[in-house]
Copies of this chain bind each other. A is one copy, B any other.
Amino acid sequence: MNSFDFYSPTYFVFGQDRERETGKYVKRFGGSRVLVVYGGQSARRSGLLDRVQDSLSAAGLYAAELGGVKPNPRSGLVYEGIDLCRREHIDFLLAVGGGSVIDTAKAIAAGAVYEGDFWDFFSGKAPEKALPVGTVLTIAASGSEGSPDSIITNEKTLEKNAAEADCLRPCFSVLNPALTESLPPYQTACGVTDIMAHAFERYFTNTPDVETTDRMLEGVLLAMLHEGRRVMENPRDYEARANIMWAGMVCHNDVMGVGRKQDWNSHHLEHVLSAVYDCAHGAGLAVIMPAWMRYCVEHGGETRFAQMAVRVFGCQMDFAQPKRTALEGIRAFQAFLKSIGMPLSFAEIGADPADIPRLVEMNHIGGGVTGGYVGLDRQAHTEIYEIAAGVRS
């Protein structure tokens, strides 16, 4: 196990109706002039925005609004939010939505107290301070409600980059699983896929002796196989949604990712897909992850995939030929993804195999190797997209 720092100071407020307490928590964490960031009109139509606004009013807080955040959130709205914060003397960002809304609020929070261009923070510079951010979560997926990350797409360059800093961790997050009940099944399944990806990307590592976090990750993955199927059977199953929501947080606040080198290759391979084809992030992951897994098994990574197959997917270990077990596990993962309605092919997300050279180009790997459980060079990127496109087995 490697040395590490771990810090997750977010206060989580979990349960039915708890968005009604939002004002109390904004106040507790020092907010008085609040910018409420949200996405489309569903938050208004459902009455959620009104309930949150009522709670802010009851606490005597001023609130401005910024709506219109879209999936794969763009830099334009961040600039708009930063201007609004300065004009309105905002001292607290409240994100009401899913990962895209939260990431937008985090980017605004860092940009509002920075003299330069906020995109600096998405180009390698770590923000040192930010306005406090609170969240009312409506989609279990990104884990942004408990993470130090934000991911924004630059409108001009289509680069989809991440910023990371402790000051971007929300000071509180309201998690009411019932708020996710109105999500379409497809988006719910995309969320489950993203949560599992966050577990896998921590799981696949060459760092030895990480049994405690390995076992915790396997545990959450097992739970997602169970709860994912359950929520697809009944979208109004509060209990399944509650289990998925807490899993979304623990899979990305890093309590199970500490002390190991992580492997974010499949997330990076996917970011290009959702940037180019504007598919849901979870859908892109469902297409790319099994392809990435197959490539890894064929290039020296069979050990951990066999472990995954046995411990998570209940496969029997083939001790003489562990690779067989590893591949069986990947097939079981794909079968699960299919069972919850996820796409498995390039065609299903509108991607064209002819684009592969361009996709690889966009990953900017040049002559290098992106590190991870199995290092990937340019050729590897090409082959993984080809496996995903069905033009290579």
Contacts and interface: CB of A to CB of B under 8 A. Distances in A.
Given A3-B15, A12-B7, A16-B3, A242 B259 contact: yes
A215 interface: yes
Contacts of A217: 219
Nearest to A226: B211
A132 to B, nearest CB: 14
Interface stretch (A37-45, A243-251, A267-275, A302-310): A243-251
B212 A246 contact: yes
A325 interface: no
Contacts of A232: none
A114 B74 CA distance: 51
Interface residues of A, number: 46
Given A211-B223, A216-B219, A222-B215, A1 B255 contact: no
B9 A14 contact: no
Contact of A243 (B1, B11, B16, B240): B1
Contact of A212 (B5, B10, B223): B223
Given A220-B215, A223-B214, A250-B255, A208 B239 contact: yes
Number of copies of this chain that the complex holds: 2
A20 to B, nearest CB: 12
Nearest to A217: B219
A246 B220 contact: no
Contacts of A220: 212, 215-216
A218 interface: yes
A250 B6 CA distance: 12
Contacts of A321: none
Interface string A8-26: 1111111110100000000
A212 B227 contact: yes
B12 A9 contact: no
Interface in A220-237: 220, 222-223, 226-227
Contact of A209 (B8, B212, B239): B239
B14 A5 contact: yes
B239 A14 contact: no
Given A214-B223, A222-B215, A250-B216, A209 B3 contact: no
Interface string A251-270: 00001001100000000000
B239 A1 contact: yes
Nearest to A13: B5
A61 interface: no
A2 interface: yes
B11 A7 contact: yes
A215 B244 CA distance: 13
A210 interface: yes
A14 B209 CA distance: 15
B1 A242 contact: yes
Interface of A: 1-16, 18, 177, 208-220, 222-223, 226-227, 239-240, 242-244, 246-247, 250, 255, 258-259
Nearest 7 A/B pairs, CB to CB: A3-B15, A215-B219, A209-B239, A219-B219, A9-B9, A1-B242, A6-B12
6 contacts: A1-B239, A3-B18, A5-B14, A209-B239, A211-B223, A216-B223
Given A9-B9, A209-B243, A213-B246, 17 more contacts: A1-B242, A1-B243, A3-B14, A4-B12, A4-B14, A5-B12, A5-B14, A6-B11, A7-B11, A8-B9, A211-B243, A212-B243, A212-B250, A215-B222, A216-B223, A217-B219, A242-B259
